[in-house]
Structure 1
Amino acid sequence: MWCVQRRLSEFKGFVFDIDGVLKLGDKPIKGAAEAITFLQHENRKVAILTNNATRSRKGIVDEMKRIGINVGIDEVFGSACGAARFIKHEFGGGKAFVIGERGLREELKAAGIKLLPASKAANADFVVVGLDRTFNYKKLDAALTATMNGAMFIATNEDARLPIEKGAKPGAGCMVAALSTCAKKKPDVVIGKPHPYLLEMAIEAMGLKKSELVMVGDGIETDIAMANAAGVYSVLVLTGNAPRKAELARLPRELKPSHVLNSVSELPSNW
């Protein structure tokens, strides 16, 4: 991690988490759109990086547009497209049983991965698990059957909670933990933060060095841990899942952010 606080104007690229940083639930964080627009006017590269696999890249672009943030599909890196990319690049495709929602299924289909119903899950090459708000015993049973038959267990992320405007809701990690418990194994691969896969995708696409990049997030154990481990300058915003300021001093070195803002809206004033 960076030991000395730097001026944010020194950096060429900024990567933002969504939930808890740019919005809470369906409500945009005040000043978030203005902060992104400021960076774009300063000719800085901007990217969106999210663990939430319920939305495809197109869905995220549309969602950002609704809250006044304009980004292109090539500037979005989500765990849904990350999972699809991983399967396609590492295995050339295959058959998958999915615990997840529309965005994850769309990305997998777009990558040419065949999606299997629960009745045929035993034939799956992969079990891909993301946030699923219709999760049930039937899906868990099918995923267990696939896993016991040798399917690779891929988790989009292991987030325990999803921040919303007033509190939080269960995250994808709850579904992942359910399958881990009955399968008696951890995921073979985890795509999302704090694992580096999505950040590596963003760095490659942005064409920047790690030293030129900032990761802005609200998650100590996801955004900040990932950035610090990768040698990327980390900015914690105290919205969403962030701890209280008084708790930051007690964090271990690998979890301490390089820079702290009350909200992403303060980014221009810290230029």
Structure 2
Amino acid sequence: MSTSPPASGRLADAYDLVIFDLDGVIYLSDKAVPGAVDAVQRLHEQGRSIAYATNNASRRAAEVADLLRGLGVPAEAEEVLTSAAAAARRLADRLEPGARVLVVGAEALRQEVFDCGLTPVSSADDQPVAVVQGYGRDVGWVILAEAALAVRAGALWIATNTDRTLPSPRGALPGNGSLVAVLRTALDREPDEVIGKPEAVLFEEAVKREAAGRPVVVGDRLDTDIEGAVRAGLDSLLVLTGVSQPRDLVAAEPHRRPTYVAKDLAGLFDDVETLAISAEGTGWHVTDGRLDGHGDAMAALRTICAAAWAGTDVSDIRGATDEATTALRELGI
């Protein structure tokens, strides 16, 4: 599997598998991100291999595929990998058939546990040997208290993911990581295992399914999608339609830096030279903490990132011209 980015050509043509995150990339809640449906349809029409890897454990693969088709994306359940299914499979590998598992999360997670031959329960009094925790809109104090009691009694504790927030049209909402933090605080310990991104499990499964030799990950979060791609040794594209924004990207640590950045999924059809984080050929340059040159705001962002990642202090960057100042304002930097 190749790990070095191509030197030229459209990004979509340079890879044999595109692995999409969902929340913040394809949709926000149940509404399509502008331009996302057209971009994915275009890939399908070109015969590109596609996978969807989501940390959201509140839907099963078939439900996710139904949602995508409802938005106009021609998706199949076999293309979807969820942290709920992966967590249930991991439990089944570690536990005896029929073992009792206390489920904290949505009905989708409960069904995944059941389908893996385990017994879902809701009380510590049932003496579960494991607790699995995933996002669910109705998760509250009662089930969290049962989980705390079970873990304190010795149950294995697995989290589907630790995303602190979920993107939505109204702004960032508490994610499973915020709910995991409740138990972390109560128990004064970490989960025994986290399954979803930034762990490489979902990406590795997607690559294996498609026998892909050159996959690329597309996500909206530096701390899950992009860090997960780095851990898996895969190239990645950050789109600015969800959680992570330009300021976050500029300040990103090495293990959370994408290969490319684009405003949205239309970037899949741009040239890799345009999308790559670089100070060369962008029309912009950073000198003495000032941005100068000309071009669009995204090109300016790539230049600023290249400077920051090379060690230049851009914490108080200013525009040397009105055009530069406008680009910085557009980026929120």
TM-score bracket for this pair, using the shorter chain length: over 0.9
Residue 226 of structure 1 aligns with which residue? 228
Report the Cα offset of residue 22 of structure 1: 0.4
Query: Whole-Å Cα distance in 2 between the matches of residues 236 and 227 of structure 1?
Result: 11
One-letter amino acid of the counterpart of residue 72, structure 1:
E
Report the Cα offset of residue 28 of structure 1: 0.2
Query: Whole-Å Cα distance in 2 between the matches of residues 92 and 240 of structure 1?
Result: 40
Taking structure 1 as reference, are residues 69 and 186 closer, same or farther at Cα in structure 2, changes over 3 Å only?
same
Residue 149 of structure 2 aligns with which residue? 145
Query: Whole-Å Cα distance in 2 between the matches of residues 137 and 5 of structure 1?
Result: 52
Report the Cα offset of residue 42 of structure 1: 2.1
| Pair 1:206 & 2:210 matched | yes
Residue 251 of structure 2 aligns with which residue? 250
Root-mean-square deviation (Å): 1.8
Report the Cα offset of residue 250 of structure 1: 3.2
1:55 aligned to which of 54, 59, 72: 59
Is the Cα contact below 8 Å between 2:25 and 2:219 reproduced in 1? yes
| Pair 1:136 & 2:145 matched | no
| Pair 1:86 & 2:87 matched | no
2:111 aligned to which of 106, 109, 112: 106
How many residues end up aligned between the 2 structures?
267
Query: Whole-Å Cα distance in 2 between the matches of residues 86 and 250 of structure 1?
Result: 34
One-letter amino acid of the counterpart of residue 253, structure 1:
P
Report the Cα offset of residue 187 of structure 1: 0.5
Post-superposition, which runs of at least 4 consecutive aligned residues in structure 1 deviate over 6 A? none
Taking structure 1 as reference, are residues 139 and 263 closer, same or farther at Cα in structure 2, changes over 3 Å only?
same
**Which runs of 5 or more residues in structure 1 are unaligned?**
none
Task: Pick which of 189-198 and 134-143 moved more.
Answer: 134-143
Query: Whole-Å Cα distance in 2 between the matches of residues 226 and 129 of structure 1?
Result: 20
| Pair 1:97 & 2:98 matched | no
Taking structure 1 as reference, are residues 119 and 223 closer, same or farther at Cα in structure 2, changes over 3 Å only?
closer
Residue 236 of structure 1 aligns with which residue? 238
Query: Whole-Å Cα distance in 2 between the matches of residues 239 and 5 of structure 1?
Result: 26
Report the Cα offset of residue 182 of structure 1: 1.4
CA displacement 1:80-109 (0-9 Å, x = unmatched): 111111112333542110110121112111
Is the Cα contact below 8 Å between 1:100 and 1:130 reproduced in 2? yes
Question: What's the TM-score once normalised by structure 2's chain length?
Answer: 0.76
Q: Larger relative CO (CA 8 A, sep 6+): 1 or 2?
A: 1
Query: Whole-Å Cα distance in 1 between the matches of residues 4 and 251 of structure 2?
Result: 17
One-letter amino acid of the counterpart of residue 106, structure 1:
Q
The DSSP-based 3-state class of the residue aligned with 1:267 is helix
Question: What's the TM-score once normalised by structure 1's chain length?
Answer: 0.92
